Structure 1
Amino acid sequence: MTIWKREFKNCKLCEWKCGVNRLEGEPGVCGVGMPDIAYCNLAQVLRSYSVTMLGCDFKCIYCNAYRLSQYPGSGWFYRGYIDPKELATEAVSRINSPEGRAMHVDKISFTGGEPTIHFPYIAKVVEEVRKKIPELGVGFATNGFASQHTLQQIIDLCSYVTFEIKAFNDDTHRAITGAPVEPVLRNAEYLIRKGRDKIRAFRTIVIPGINDTEIEEIAEFLVSIDPSVPLRIIPFRPNYILYYHPGPTKKRMDEIGQAVLKTGLENVWWRGYYPMEVSKQAVEMAAREFKGVKQEGARLAFAYSKLAGCVKADRNCGECPVKLNCPAGLKEPWLLDV
């Protein structure tokens, strides 16, 4: 048996510590066996070759990637298992490709799902990639539910970690994720004290009426350890089990952001909200720049496209000079105030 597979034989990578033999297909809470890949891509925003893993040790009711996180129970099909050396070869090729060089890709990052449950595999992939690109950075996005042993390995391996705290109180955290909050808060403190230089950001998703009164408590918790750690406050958008639950208004996001600042946390960022009404900016642009269009709905749609970066006023993609590298998109919707 290859060394990196050994921890899957008695899996205790996350705080559930199921002890199942994933090599033999025994399912733990996450439900997965050998590490499976959903897809890989060059991520321009992070300047990274991003590897999206399947499966998760949480069952979040608002998950926007539930087809990935609840795999294989979701019934969707993806790339599946890829030998670490094969994936490493693919990553090096894409990083060194003209597209990768143009994006200045300087790292490989792992997300999901939850990459913690596949950590030995990830470490092997990184080992193989660094044989060709020794200085390559490593990014890791996590829900914070790793065992302490795994968390230390994550700190040792990675260049940066994005860590999500979904709630502060245990009842709320269990209601949202199906898991207790104590290991997450324990790991957040450990990461700050033992791997402060590895923290890209802590993240919290604001869900109105569910966890929005706890964001300030999360901030106070972080301040008590290190007031300089970055917190990113992101608005919930209806999805999965909470498909019919509304997201936060701009007013509510601003209220929360200002309250968090008052806790003494020094590095706080929030932006975006759930639009309860049609964008005023889009309406004004539609009236101003697309008044020659007969249909009111078409004017509004043209305006949204232009706000997102479309350079072709008539939206004739077939004749667009940049159709093969379209600048219009909302890869990070919260960065566009409309």
Structure 2
Amino acid sequence: MDESGRCMLCEWRCGANRSDGERGVCGASETEIAYTSISETLRSYSVTFLCCPFRCAYCNAYRISQYPHSGWIYRGHVEAEELADEAITAIKSHERISNISFTGGEPSIHTPYIEELVRRVREEIDVSVILATNGFSTPGTLRRLIGLTSLFSFEIKALSDELHRNLTGAPAEPVLRNAAHLAGRFPDKIRVFRTVVIPGINDHEIREIAAFIASIDPEIPYRLIGFRPNFMLYYHRGPGRELMERLVEECRAEGLERVDYSGYYPASELRLEDRLKAAGCSIPRDCGSCSRVCRAIIREPWRG
């Protein structure tokens, strides 16, 4: 925020007076929480924020990122002191929890709130801070986040400006600038760079993104995430395993030493009969004679 309380936290620098209820380009006024959760696997108490400066066409959390326009109702504003008390209680009651993590939406547009929350938590207990970001913060905001964050999960959605704008509605340059700054100056703070692989849209840029990262530090971890049909790309196909494995090899060929992937879309590789059997259907199907609750309507197709 500038001296008048107008928001300059992200590269839109829209100047919204959020403290007075005005909403910025990101949709945020006062900081609002979608929900909190605990992951013993990640050893983390996680805070999920509402709103985002991007309008990603494929966002799998668009009800959160596009709040309040999505029309969904979430927890809302919680005073930092109150949430800090909740976090401290939760972390102390779970032996394996040692981190507090921030995701969204986009956490960086709530930097003053995060600073206050972390300060209060660290007055009571020693915790690491993990932050997932789209990298669209201003240099000043990024410096503030570097000062309190232990590890960043940083997403590079595309390399070329035109594609980045088409996917997110925002320019690529600030993201690439911040990625280069983090990788070049604070490689120990990068948990992972990530890119969602969307066949026919950004898969041709994956190798170039890998080359960009490798040119800064070839030891930076890079993870490819298999796209799942969602939001404006609900009917677009996801990547198959063969594509994901090929892209990993191409990234390694660019000099990146730590590349892996998660997720692919088996529906693009299996016959209809295979998909129906995976859903628990008999072949041929005869829904009129089936007395069971239909498992197909609640099954997530990528688990088959």
Same fold (TM over 0.5): yes
Question: What is aligned with 1:130?
Answer: 122
> How many angstroms does 1:276 deviate by?
2.1
Give RMSD over aligned pairs.
2.6
Deviates more, 1:247-256 or 1:168-177: 247-256
Question: What is aligned with 1:169?
Answer: 160
**Structure 1: runs of 5+ lacking an equivalent:** 288-292, 299-328
- 1:1-338 matches, within 5 Å, as 9-97=5-93, 100-101=94-95, 104-133=96-125, 135-276=126-267, 295=282
SS at match of 2:23: coil
Determine if contact 2:65/2:105 at 8 Å carries over to the other structure. yes
Would the alpha carbon gap of residues 296 and 42 (structure 1) be closer, same or farther in structure 2, given more than 3 Å must change?
Answer: farther
User: Deviation per CA, 1:158-185, whole angstroms, max 9, x where unpaired?
Assistant: 1100000000000000000000000000
Report the TM-score, using the length of structure 1 for normalisation. 0.80
Question: What is aligned with 2:296?
Answer: none
Determine if contact 1:8/1:22 at 8 Å carries over to the other structure. no
Counterparts of 1:8 and 1:118, CA distance in 2: 17
Would the alpha carbon gap of residues 214 and 16 (structure 1) be closer, same or farther in structure 2, given more than 3 Å must change?
Answer: same
Would the alpha carbon gap of residues 93 and 169 (structure 1) be closer, same or farther in structure 2, given more than 3 Å must change?
Answer: same
Report the TM-score, using the length of structure 2 for normalisation. 0.89
Question: What is aligned with 1:320?
Answer: none
Counterparts of 1:43 and 1:294, CA distance in 2: 34
> How many angstroms does 1:44 deviate by?
2.5
Counterparts of 1:207 and 1:167, CA distance in 2: 10
> For this pair of structures, how many residues does the alignment match?
289
Determine if contact 1:7/1:120 at 8 Å carries over to the other structure. no
SS at match of 1:201: strand
Determine if contact 1:173/1:179 at 8 Å carries over to the other structure. yes
> How many angstroms does 1:25 deviate by?
1.6
Deviates more, 1:113-122 or 1:24-33: 24-33
**Structure 2: runs of 5+ lacking an equivalent:** 286-298
Counterparts of 1:255 and 1:278, CA distance in 2: 15
SS at match of 2:186: helix
Counterparts of 2:147 and 2:270, CA distance in 1: 45
Determine if contact 1:14/1:147 at 8 Å carries over to the other structure. yes
> How many angstroms does 1:295 deviate by?
4.5
SS at match of 2:57: coil
SS at match of 1:140: strand
> How many angstroms does 1:279 deviate by?
6.3
Determine if contact 1:203/1:234 at 8 Å carries over to the other structure. yes
Identity of aligned residues (%): 52
SS at match of 1:210: coil
Would the alpha carbon gap of residues 24 and 128 (structure 1) be closer, same or farther in structure 2, given more than 3 Å must change?
Answer: same
> How many angstroms does 1:271 deviate by?
3.3
